[in-house]
Structure 1
Amino acid sequence: MKKLLVAVVLLVTTMVSAQKNSILLGGNVGFGSEKIGESKTEGFEFSPKVGYQFSEKWTLGVEGSILNYKESNSKREEAYKVGVFTRYSVPLSDLFSFYADLGAGYQERSIDKTKGVYAGLTPALFINMKRGFGLNFSIGGISYDNLSGKEVAREQRFGFNFGKTVNIGISKNFGL
């Protein structure tokens, strides 16, 4: 089971470096578990991306996210996001590139039937290893969420979390 989980994580954390007329496939997998006293929280998230790199620096595509979340003594909650993103890449050398992803879209939570929008900006660093394989590093970003429903109060969140999170991925470039 652990080998399968590692293989899935490596597959879906793929983020492809910019190369004109190629396809970007990627995403993230996340799992979190927290226990404070008798209260326990668990969450699993899968966030794929697909895009087209129409120049060396620019990529446009679609992104999504499925979150499965459970707190002790409550029902399991699911949340969904679907949207678009654009990526701007700047090669720093043959080995390094800097890129920033800007994404926005629609989101929905199942348990309280809330719906809304989201937006986020994530800067990252790509390290080219060999033959199109590489590593991606990001340390946070800026995010905005807005959710509302008939039976719950409106929720708005703004996040600025640089240095608070670390994401590492593997990438492989697929040309057309």
Structure 2
Amino acid sequence: MKKVVMSLLVSALSMASVYAQKNTVLVYGSINAESQKLSSGTKTSTFNFSPAVGYQFNDHWTTGLTLATKTGKDFSGVKTSTFGVGPFVRYAMPLSDIFAVYGQFNADYLSGKAGDLKMSGFGGTLFPAIGVNMKNGFALNFSFGGLSFASQKVKGASKSTTDVNFNFGSGAGFGISKNF
């Protein structure tokens, strides 16, 4: 239950603004902290921080830069750290003065370390969302899944690992954002 509550809280901080307001700066991000303890006494913990900033060129298009850092320790005590940075592009379509839909694509360079293993690669995420315009540049945002791809190679390995995830409707996120 704690994991579900933490996931909802993280999602509340993670979504970006819906309405592309011409010549404004969009700022959003997420903070996530999670800890689990098994009955055997072993623990796992993770912390991640993912800020983003973008420029809204017109009423529909926004581009910017995302950053993501994550550190953790798994049940066996192995420490992990990951880093991602890359551009994003978003297209928003207002449905009314209050509601809008948008699609966003993030492309990231990925780097990480798990114990003594170092890895690097790239990834991309495409997701749809719905936004509710509030007041003074604030918006409530609701996402409902997406499509993601990641390819990473461990240093010294001959082949890379590729992950593809398609999860429309299997998860939901909630967020608040601000346009300046």
Q: Answer whether TM exceeds 0.5 for this pair.
A: yes
Corresponding residue for residue 137 of structure 1: 142
CA distance in 1, matches of 2:172, 2:35: 17
Corresponding residue for residue 109 of structure 2: 106
Residues 93 and 49 of structure 1, relative CA distance in 2, 3 Å threshold: same
Equivalent pairs: percent with the same residue? 39
State the TM-score, normalized to the length of structure 1.
0.85
The Cα RMSD (Å) is 2.5
Q: Which has the higher contact order (CA 8 A, sep 6+)?
A: 2
Corresponding residue for residue 47 of structure 1: 50
CA distance in 2, matches of 1:116, 1:13: 23
Corresponding residue for residue 20 of structure 1: 22
Counterpart contact for 1:63–1:82, Cα < 8 Å: yes
Deviations 1:23-57 (A, max 9, x none): 01111222334455645432222111111100100
Counterpart contact for 2:12–2:175, Cα < 8 Å: no
Equivalenced residues, count: 168
> C-alpha displacement at 1:78, in angstroms?
0.5
Residue 134 of structure 2 aligns to a residue in which SS? strand
Gap regions ≥5 residues in structure 1: 1-8
> C-alpha displacement at 1:163, in angstroms?
2.3
State the TM-score, normalized to the length of structure 2.
0.83
CA distance in 2, matches of 1:90, 1:69: 38
Corresponding residue for residue 125 of structure 2: 120
Corresponding residue for residue 4 of structure 2: none
Gap regions ≥5 residues in structure 2: 1-9
- Does 1:170 pair with 2:173? no
Residue 130 of structure 1 aligns to a residue in which SS? coil
Counterpart contact for 2:45–2:74, Cα < 8 Å: yes
CA distance in 2, matches of 1:157, 1:166: 21
- One-letter amino acid of the counterpart of residue 22, structure 1: T
CA distance in 2, matches of 1:137, 1:54: 23
CA distance in 2, matches of 1:61, 1:12: 18
Deviations 1:1-43 (A, max 9, x none): xxxxxxxx79954623310000011112223344556454322
